[in-house]
Structure 1
């Protein structure tokens, strides 16, 4: 089995083992079932190309979603108004997947390369891949943009990658920031989604191993991690994170759910306030927002992907 297939297959196996326990651990947070999307005639679901194998999604300042392919690294752009899409960035081929991705206000896409160990930067307007950075990492998973950097997680090593951004967000030097403090590194898949704290002073990173699965607040200057107090809630299947104000959405992929927390400003404490579920979920991995909706790609990690496997994106109401 090729290294890319081995790493992705191992991810599917690891997330499957914790699926049932996480739902019980959420406790009495309540549930919010998405029974339709309010206030718009835009499609509440749209298809992706067969065999695409989506994982990450990002939406910028315009109503277009960008999704990355685990199969070959392609980036697909879809109009939220019509559900129609097309190729935005041609990937580098098998062995160079696109896992997490974010777009900035300059239409620049930051792409996490999974087991290739790459960080790639592409122009969403021209489709050109402008930069490829070799991290030497094992599985570059997800990314968040801050005013001075793009931060990436590595799921198999206790470190973050910091791509320093200069004037106008131009990518410059790549740095490695080791994780310490409360960080617990498992033998297998550990770090996943990444966000900023509401006050913008620190980073939030999913640690699927620590205390049965939790959230870490990381000092970006030192890499020191401190566990976020989420009460009885756990994130054993925690994948993508999305922060809107003080509301944090944590996608629990194998549980087909989004757990919703209200954080304090510093991001040291969170209270579970809702769980979003939907019968259309087929192992969603990440979320992006437009208006009163969240958009999530269904990764379908419970099936063996083929060129004919169907994939889609579904929209649900925000809390």
Structure 2
């Protein structure tokens, strides 16, 4: 496999960056003042113990370290989750677009950005070059992509996307952010300065075509990642399956999946090396694990396993940190979501691929 320019979604993908950034973010989790917040605006959520009715809620990760589920504020209604340096995480709210950040090790957290009336945040990804947290979001009826300073919480770029209906997930390459719209069959490509990772002041659309299924009223393009041949990897929430998309033409081709129940749906999508993780790809409380293969005949995938836990409750997205996959519980359909509890759940991800 060719060496990727990024590591993983969560994803600190760009191989450049300064160690000072990681130090500053780690310090900001301890001292809200360093992050540009007053102590009065800071709220801490302590680590959450496994529910008594769900024994074995924590799972042993590589290195025999046991991680516990991480609590989010009640009523937060998370959808997107990603990770930064030193096992920090960022989660976005569907309720008001608030961003919550904290430590996956200690479970402590704080508010990075305040909520905004009418705003919802879905997909998230952190870029190591710029220390920007990119978010697929909605401001009322307007689809927007936000770039947020991961230390201060200040919005550095706000990009309105004309005609957007349901901006859902995104992935970062050295010179672009790619965004899916689950109700419009196109990808939004936001140009980046390759050196700085900041917005290059233009964007364009790539219509999805070829074998891409466009029928139905449900969500279509959802999770997105990159492939090592420069193409994009998508899932389809309604028709299911994995799809390779040519970034220049938008032509989509199906990636056949051998074995297992197949990919029948899907929300968040993660790739590390040859391994792909599809959140709710084959079950409401599962993460499907596939291995990718590529040769002169094209792309294919083989079923490996499905990750689950008694603590999973309709996960939406996930992020990989070292040897652990962390999935956020969106709890879609829960009674009284405005007051419900929400958590990020650790899952073992060590499978036959060696990850």
Fold agreement, TM-score > 0.5: yes
Greater Rg over alpha carbons, structure: 2
CA distance in structure 2 between the partners assigned to 1:188 and 1:283 by the alignment? 17
Which residue of 264, 283, 303 maps to 1:272? 303
Which residue of 280, 283, 287 maps to 2:314? 283
Q: How far apart are 1:305 and its partner, in Å?
A: 4.0
1:221 match: 248
1:260 match: 289
Which residue of 125, 149, 152 maps to 2:176? 149
Match of 1:97, SS? strand
Q: How far apart are 1:244 and its partner, in Å?
A: 1.0
CA distance in structure 2 between the partners assigned to 1:104 and 1:317 by the alignment? 25
Pick closer, same or farther for the CA change 1:127–1:257 going to 2, 3 Å.
same
Match of 2:196, SS? helix
2:190 match: 163
Unaligned 5+ segments in structure 2 are 1-55, 351-355
The answer as to whether partners of 2:236 and 2:265 remain within 8 angstroms in 1 is: no
CA distance in structure 2 between the partners assigned to 1:255 and 1:62 by the alignment? 30
The correspondence of residues 1-319 of structure 1 with structure 2, limited to 5 A, is 36-38=59-61, 39=63, 41=65, 43-91=67-115, 93-105=116-128, 106-114=130-138, 116-136=142-162, 137-166=164-193, 167-172=195-200, 173-185=202-214, 186-197=216-227, 199-210=228-239, 213-231=240-258, 233-252=261-280, 255-265=284-294, 268-319=299-350
CA distance in structure 2 between the partners assigned to 1:283 and 1:208 by the alignment? 14
Pick closer, same or farther for the CA change 1:57–1:281 going to 2, 3 Å.
same
Calculate the TM-score normalised by the size of structure 2.
0.75
CA distance in structure 1 between the partners assigned to 2:176 and 2:189 by the alignment? 6
CA distance in structure 2 between the partners assigned to 1:43 and 1:275 by the alignment? 19
CA distance in structure 2 between the partners assigned to 1:118 and 1:252 by the alignment? 25
Match of 1:62, SS? helix
CA distance in structure 2 between the partners assigned to 1:235 and 1:96 by the alignment? 31
Q: How far apart are 1:170 and its partner, in Å?
A: 1.1
Match of 2:119, SS? coil
**Aligned alpha-carbon RMSD (Å):** 2.0
CA distance in structure 2 between the partners assigned to 1:117 and 1:177 by the alignment? 16
Pick closer, same or farther for the CA change 1:305–1:130 going to 2, 3 Å.
farther
CA distance in structure 1 between the partners assigned to 2:151 and 2:329 by the alignment? 25
Pick closer, same or farther for the CA change 1:133–1:305 going to 2, 3 Å.
farther
CA distance in structure 1 between the partners assigned to 2:134 and 2:323 by the alignment? 25
Calculate the TM-score normalised by the size of structure 1.
0.84
Match of 1:113, SS? strand
Pick closer, same or farther for the CA change 1:61–1:264 going to 2, 3 Å.
farther
Pick closer, same or farther for the CA change 1:310–1:116 going to 2, 3 Å.
farther
Unaligned 5+ segments in structure 1 are 1-32
Give a deviation string over 1:82-134, Cα, whole Å, max 9, x none.
Answer: 1000011224x232111000000021011001464111111111110112111
Higher RCO (C-alpha 8 Å, min separation 6): 1
Q: How far apart are 1:268 and its partner, in Å?
A: 1.9
The answer as to whether partners of 2:58 and 2:68 remain within 8 angstroms in 1 is: no
